[in-house]
Amino acid sequence: MYTAGFIGIGNMGGALMTAAAKKLGSDFMVCDFDQKKVADAVEKYGCVFGTAAQIARDCRYIFLGVKPQMAEDACRDLIAPLAERTGKPVIVSMMAGLTTDTVRKFCGGDYKVIRIMPNIAAAVGESMTLCTSTDNVKEDEMEKFLDFMSESGKFDRIPEKLIDAGMALSGCGPAFVCLFIEALADGAVACGVPRKSAMEYAAQMILGTVTLMQETGKHPAVMKDEVCSPAGTTIAGVRTLEEHGFRSAAMEAVIAAYEKTKALK
């Protein structure tokens, strides 16, 4: 019996697998349509390749890392082996928009389900992962899960009714931040800064700003005011962002992601 099994090791599933391996070593199974990804994982971590049905039969925590649109088809292979088990496993879903009830329905039973919404920073131990579970997940099962996934980053346990809204920020946010970094770098390039340097400046500036905010506990508005000298360069840039609806655009991006997530049900 293996501690974990990963069905789907694409960008997100692979990131969580990478984090889990730091705690589990080789104590997990993997399954994916991309055989190269599977072979690379087996070679790197010493884990075991298995079919989806074998993972459903032989793993305590079963991670579903397939796309939401493929979930029902993917779960069909799990129904029979799950039903045959005496000690029921914990199913871990990272599929956007699919409730724990939907996951249970697809898997064919009233199973224990942990629903998580991580982001791609899990691969470097800096994900902000939102987490909820069905009532039949025991506290020691949740604690074990949080322990072997601790290398992926921070977890916040929240009611399921809030998870879609939260993931529109924490899950989709990396794309928004990357777009912002690229745009800032483009601006610097337009002013004559070499591309490589501009990208480094933008990324390090954001990393430093976030670290300072987290370590000091200061509100971002306070930090913004501290940087904006009267009649200075920074306030001129802030004014331009406000003129172009920067804050409104950021809010609408999160809302649009949330509405799309709700539509996946």
Residue 141 CA to residue 246 CA, distance in Å, equals: 43
Mean pLDDT to the nearest integer, 114-130: 92
Residue 72 CA to residue 121 CA, distance in Å, equals: 27
For the stretch 56-76, pLDDT in tens is: 999 999 999 998 888 999 899
- Is the pLDDT at 87 greater than 90? The verdict is no
The residues, any chain, with a CB within 8 Å of residue 62's CB and separated by 6 or more, are: 4, 5, 7, 55, 56, 78, 89, 90, 91, 92
For the stretch 146-199, pLDDT in tens is: 999 999 999 999 999 999 999 999 999 999 999 999 999 999 999 999 999 999
Mean pLDDT to the nearest integer, 198-225: 96
> Can you say how many angstroms the Cα of residue 120 is from the centroid of all Cα atoms in its chain?
5
For the stretch 147-162, pLDDT in tens is: 999 999 999 999 999 9
Sign, Cα dihedral of 14, 131, 57, 147: positive
The residues, any chain, with a CB within 8 Å of residue 26's CB and separated by 6 or more, are: 45, 46, 47, 48
Q: What is the pLDDT of residue 133?
A: 96
Q: What is the pLDDT of residue 261?
A: 85
Q: Which helix (H) or strand (E) holds 132?
A: strand 127-133
Residue 249 burial by Cβ neighbours in a 10 Å radius (0-12, 13-18, 19+)? exposed
- Is the pLDDT at 265 greater than 90? The verdict is no
Residue 215 CA to residue 219 CA, distance in Å, equals: 11
For the stretch 217-247, pLDDT in tens is: 999 999 999 999 999 999 999 999 999 999 9
Q: What is the pLDDT of residue 177?
A: 96
Domains and their CATH numbers in the chain? 2-160 (3.40.50.720), 173-263 (1.10.3730.10)
With tokens 């956007």, the residue in question is 96
